[in-house]
Amino acid sequence: MRIRHLCTALALLTTAATLPTATASAAATDPDAAQRARRAQPLTHLYDNTAIGGGARPGAADFDGAGNALAAADLSAAGWTPGRALDLDATSLTWPRATAGRPDNVVADGQTIAVRGTGGALTFLTAATGTGAPATGNGTVRYRDGSVSGYRLTAPDWRSGPTATKAVTLPHLVTPHGTAAGPARLYAVTVPLRPGRAVASVRLPRATASGAALHVFALGVRRDDRGWTGSWATASSGYAAVGPWRDRTLRLVVHAGAGGQRVRVRFANTFADAPVTLGAASIAVRGDGAAAGGAPRRLTFRHGQRGVRVPAGAEVVSDPLGFAVPAGRDLLVSIHLPGTVTAAPVHRNAAQTSYLSASGAGDRTADTGGGAFPETLTTWPFLTGVDVTGGPGSIVTLGDSITDGDGSTSGANRRWPDVLTRRFQQQHALPRYGVLNQGISANRVVSDRYTGEGVSTDLAGVSAGHRLQRDVLAQTSVHTVVVFEGINDVRWGTSATEVVDGLRALARRAHAQGLRVVAATLAPCEGYRDCTAEVEARRQAVNAALREHGEAFDAVLDFDAVLRDPARPQRMLPAYDSGDHLHPGDAGLAALAASVDLRKLVPEQG
């Protein structure tokens, strides 16, 4: 039953990414096009619903038609204050400036919104009310060249929508009778745009026949990352208890793939229920241990600010900095946390040692030496990406523990995406893409290990379907995704049909946003404690379907054939085995990367 519900949620997300289109020629000859464009108004001018209650006018809000509303105090506690900039899925949105009890959102019914920007996707800050079910409708995007495209938007219900894809969860409601227990949730939902075309206006969907109301608080075009390439990235695998960390500096070690002359760094407060303050941050090329090879360079935010407050669920990107990132070198990214931090979004399995200053040590981000960092970390908190200027863009590897680096030598950067990165950087026949590792140990295609909400000890991430938007589609200048995942699903009882359907759904959503999609067959695992004959049968069925992929994927990498023992194909070749029979060691991971025909990863326009 749980699998069926999760597949339904994945289908809703897939529907939200479908892109019906209208022809540019029809739009160009439409005599009413100019008149409709003139009627477009800023979203804030069309607010017709009040969702935020509390404050000086506690009874003025009625979000759902029954007198219930979002609690202004909870929004403030999450850092979602009036007029606050919210970076969600690589899109800069603005939370309504209206105070509690004033109109702050639009109930979608065909209104035309003035929107500006050029990018690959359009993000809505949204939720549905009224029936407990999602609200779905079709809308239209009009571009400045007169062409149009359609989109289908699905807004999850504010009370019963999935936890794994929410932007923020609030613990209370404001009701006609006072404050009541929540939850209340808001969502960032992204739909594709025609790449390279400047948007002029967006027509919202008409009122839904189901009776559910589709509310829009903000919308915007995803930032245009042309000219940037991802050098390093990781995925937030959960929200973990830490410390508490009080007035401490984290010095995080990452390995640059692509190099460049300018850099920007991405931090995320994914899954959080409270904002976090980054008091200062810096970047340096690593020397030995926690010591920098030269004086660290200060990172700034929002046009020169030394620090930044990141709301719950949001992200932030540093200002571009003139700093030469050498390809294939370790970097130190240091973050000062001036307050008390008791929980943080983390990537659990860094396969890398990072460093932590003593409690109360203050801002040590400018330290060249490593003496102020006596403690170590084996996770990456808050840090999610390092981008560099130049280069052709990025390839994302979406996977589980084999992609994450389980079984590889810690600190040696021998994960198969690391080796693939070096192959791209050392050749000149093809574009030298950056390769971004979005593997999460124990992750699954279909079902969530982490619910996406609350502090948890399970840091295996939400499902690939639920994290695709954040960990693939919103990554820097991504052109191709390689999906190597599913062994954990079949080990835990998910049918081969459900896994294949889940992988195909990922491919449809990625194709809708113009990405090339490459799938990899599942590796053998006989000898691991739960790799039974039934698991092997499901694995073989998934692999057979992938090999006969048709148009579902642009290419398939046969990683099973690379790793299996010819004398016993259901197990890994002993020379490639890390010793647990599930995870390849350094030699096996190198063999995976070496087997890849790089041309299969390069989109046609590359």
* CB neighbour burial string for 459-482, b if at least 16 within 10 angstroms, e if fewer: bbbbbbbbbbbbbbbbbbbbbbbb
Q: Using one digit for the tens of pLDDT, what is the confidence trace for 428-443?
A: 999 999 999 999 999 9
Share in percent of the chain as helix, strand, coil (round to 5): 20, 35, 45
Q: Are residues 434 and 355 in the same domain?
A: no
Number of H helices, E strands in the chain: 12, 34
Residue 215 to residue 210: CA distance in whole angstroms: 14
Burial category of 66 from C-beta neighbours within 10 Å (exposed 0-12, middle 13-18, buried 19 and up): exposed
Q: What is the pLDDT of residue 516?
A: 98
Ranges under pLDDT 50 in the chain? 1-31, 33-37, 606
CB atoms within 10 A of CB 533: 8
Is 229 part of any domain? no
Q: Of the candidates 227, 275, 368, which has an alpha carbon nearest to the alpha carbon of residue 81?
A: 275
Residue 188, both tokens: 């960032």
Residue at a domain's end among 221, 247, 271 = 221
* Cα 18–Cα 19–Cα 22 angle in degrees, nearest 5: 150
Q: Of the candidates 538, 540, 551, which has an alpha carbon nearest to the alpha carbon of residue 507?
A: 551
Q: What does DSSP say about strands 85-88 and 178-192: parallel, antiparallel, or unpaired?
A: unpaired
Residue at a domain's end among 336, 363, 386 = 386
Q: Are residues 409 and 380 in the same domain?
A: no
Q: What is the pLDDT of residue 2?
A: 37
Residue 64 to residue 49: CA distance in whole angstroms: 9
Q: Of the candidates 434, 415, 428, 218, which has an alpha carbon nearest to the alpha carbon of residue 325?
A: 434
Do residues 573 and 446 touch, judged by C-beta distance below 8 A?
Answer: no
Q: Are residues 134 and 162 in the same domain?
A: yes
Residue 346 to residue 252: CA distance in whole angstroms: 12
Is 227 part of any domain? no
Is 368 part of any domain? yes
Is 582 part of any domain? yes
Residue at a domain's end among 190, 221, 252 = 221
Q: Using one digit for the tens of pLDDT, what is the confidence trace for 120-178?
A: 999 999 999 999 999 999 999 999 999 999 999 999 999 999 999 999 999 999 999 88
Q: Are residues 89 and 137 in the same domain?
A: yes
Q: Are residues 372 and 431 in the same domain?
A: no
Tell me the three state secondary structure of residue 508. Answer: helix
Is 230 part of any domain? no
Is 176 part of any domain? yes
Q: Are residues 398 and 382 in the same domain?
A: no
Q: Are residues 425 and 376 in the same domain?
A: no
Q: What is the pLDDT of residue 604?
A: 81
Q: What is the pLDDT of residue 38?
A: 55
> Between 586-595 and 416-425, two packed helices, what is the crossing angle to 10 degrees?
50
Range of the domain at 17: 2-221
Q: Are residues 504 and 546 in the same domain?
A: yes
Q: Are residues 432 and 327 in the same domain?
A: no
Is 228 part of any domain? no
Q: What is the pLDDT of residue 207?
A: 82
Q: Are residues 342 and 435 in the same domain?
A: no
Q: Are residues 413 and 476 in the same domain?
A: yes
Residue 139, both tokens: 């809308």
Which DSSP helix (H) or strand (E) runs through 39? helix 33-39
Is 591 part of any domain? yes
The CATH number that applies at residue 413 is 3.40.50.1110
Q: What is the pLDDT of residue 95?
A: 98
Q: Are residues 286 and 336 in the same domain?
A: yes
Q: What is the tally of structural domains in the chain?
A: 3
DSSP state of 34: H
**What one-character-per-residue DSSP string does 302-325 give?**
TTTBS-EEE-TT-EEEBPPEEEEE
